[in-house]
Amino acid sequence: MPSLEHIGIAVDDVATVIDDVRTLLGSVPYKAETVPEQQVRTHFIDAGTAKLELLEPLADDSPVQNFLDRRGEGLHHLAFEVNDAEAAMARLRDAGFTLLSDAPQTGADDKRIFFVHPKETHGVLVEFCEPAPPNWTPTTVSHRNGQLAVYERGDSDRPSLLVLHGAAGSTLLESAPLMRRLEPHFHLIGVDLSGHGGSSLPPDDAFTIDRLANDARAALDAVDASTAHLFGFSMGASVALRLAHTHPDRVRRLALLGASAAWTAPLARAMQARLDLDTLRRRDPERTAPFEAQHQHPDRLFAALRAFVDTLPDKTDEMHRTLAAVDHPTLVVALDEDPLFSLDDMLDVHARLANAHLAVLPGTHHRLAAAPLAALTPLLRDHFSVESEAPSPNL
């Protein structure tokens, strides 16, 4: 079922409206964005269950200015999110509705949008929007005789949150949907770990947790973030823990999804099977194509990851020492049907941390993009929004 994504409000004087919203709600826009096709500048305000989108016309003949000339300031449209804009258009055409375009158009906030004629929706313009693949441009910084791709989203005056993807993921492939949901609340930093996405492989094609943790620290340095909250998924969770262990002063709070405290040989073999690029190409070429398009050297990356995973069963004692040393407030999130890490695995991680809380969410995939983000987002928002307390002593 489509869910309410935002409420569009046409405004004459955006500065005055922002001041009024600040007084009414205690909120200000977390970002502004120009949509040249619509001759409008949008200002997004987080309103809890949905967003407010203030629409500022940029030309006298723009659609929003025409609306203001006819009806004055006020409600412009209601927007509902769908997973497939083309399928939604087909369904509504079959139901007899008149659509205002033949195909989805580019909208603000990384969306593909279309509208239903207001004469058929009781005078209210209705928009349907589909999240589009992110077209974010990274900042590239020199790192380890190569480059590191770093992404920033959200207001830099808000608390910084570094989002760390899993093995064979990247910011655009994996982290972006979660970052979009958290954008109203945090200064978000995404980094493509070495060899992933837009970042270079290490010169020797070898991964270690310390090298990957150094990638994370370099990303914080690149955006001048002296401290940050950390969220890590799978391999990214291990990287977050390692950075908290080696540089505790750089980390405020942690959240871990799909982590393990002990890599057994069977678990390593299961992960290596997921990292067999030739098999993935044969079995699921449609899903594999984005991986190959995003990574600079996918074959070398997957080979290096398989070799890295092969070392993990011998690193269990090291992981246990890391867990015992980390006393930052930590949220451990488990997926109840994760095919790689069982609830027992996550309970073990939780038990070994000195200052941790546990949450269990429904989930059947070991993929961040397939996680229940609507349930995960408020957990992360609340966890990272608590005023930082001094870490409890590790006794």
Separation of alpha carbons 366 and 393, rounded Å: 33
Out of 113, 131, 149, pick the residue that ends a domain.
131
Q: Is residue 393 part of a domain?
A: no
Query: CATH number for the domain including 122?
Result: 3.10.180.10
- Do 110 and 175 reside in the same domain of the chain? no
Is 172 a domain residue? yes
Q: What is the tally of structural domains in the chain? A: 2
- Domain contains 392: no
Indicate whether 173 and 226 sit together in one domain: yes
In a domain, 394, yes or no: no
Q: What confidence score (pLDDT) does residue 393 get?
A: 40
pTM: 0.90
CATH number, domain of 154, equals 3.40.50.1820
Beta bridge mates, 75? 9
CA 163 from centroid of its chain's CA atoms: 7
For residue 118, count CB atoms less than 10 angstroms from its CB and return exposed for 0-12, middle for 13-18, buried for 19 or more: middle
State residue 228's pLDDT score: 98
* Residue 145 shares a structural domain with residue 109: no
Query: Which residue segment(s) compose the domain that 43 sits in?
Result: 3-131
> Given this model, what pLDDT does residue 135 score?
87
Contact 108, 35 (CB under 8 A): yes
Rounded (10°) angle between helices 235-246 and 316-325: 60
CA–CA separation, 285 vs 232, rounded Å?
27
Strand residues in 67-192 grouped as ranges (E): 74-81, 105-107, 111-116, 125-131, 139-143, 146-153, 160-164, 187-192
Which residue is associated with the tokens 């409600």? Answer: 75
217 with 94, same domain? no
Same domain, 109 and 68: yes
d(CA 356, CA 254): 9
* CA–CA gap between residue 339 and residue 357 (Å, rounded): 22
Measured in degrees and rounded to the nearest 5, phi and psi for residue 56 equal: -110, 115
Positions of the chain with pLDDT under 70: 387-395
State which amino acid sits at residue 333. V
User: Do 149 and 268 reside in the same domain of the chain?
Assistant: yes
Euclidean distance between CA atoms 259 and 286, whole angstroms: 28
Check whether residue 99 and residue 149 sit in a common domain: no
pLDDT value at residue 320: 96
Which pair of structure tokens corresponds to residue 177?
């949907």
What's the confidence (pLDDT) of residue 100?
Answer: 96
Query: Is residue 183 situated within a structural domain?
Result: yes
- Between CA 104 and CA 84 the distance in angstroms is 10
Query: Does residue 390 sit within a domain?
Result: no
Are 216 and 285 in the same domain? yes
**For residues 206 and 310, what is the distance between their CA atoms, to the nearest angstrom?**
12
- 93 and 194 co-located in one domain: no
**The token pair that represents 251 in the structure block:** 């980390």
What pLDDT does residue 387 have? 64
Helix axes 265-274, 298-311, angle to 10 degrees: 170
End-of-domain residue from the set 99, 114, 131: 131
Q: Report in angstroms the alpha-carbon separations of 247 from 60, 216, 219, 259.
A: 54, 11, 14, 20
User: What token pair was written down for 298?
Assistant: 């996918």
From CA 288, how far away is CA 112, in angstroms rounded? Answer: 23
* Burial of 103 per CB tally in 10 Å (0-12, 13-18, 19+): exposed
* Whether 50 and 158 share a structural domain: no
Is 199 in contact with 149 (CB distance < 8 Å)?
Answer: yes
For 5-42, give one letter per residue: b (16+ CB within 10 A) or e.
bbbbbbbeebeebbeebeeeeeeebbeeeebeebbbbb
Query: Are both 119 and 143 inside the same structural domain?
Result: no
378 with 329, same domain: the answer is yes
Of 131, 159, 188, the one marking the end of a domain is: 131
Q: What is the per-residue DSSP string for 57-98?
A: E-STTSHHHHHHHHH-SEEEEEEEE-S-HHHHHHHHHHTTPP
The CA–CA distances, whole Å, from 74 to 21, 53, 138 equal 13, 11, 36
Residue 345 lies in a domain: yes
395 in any annotated domain: no
Q: Give the pLDDT score at 214.
A: 97
The pLDDT tens digits for 272-303 are: 999 999 999 999 898 899 889 999 999 999 99
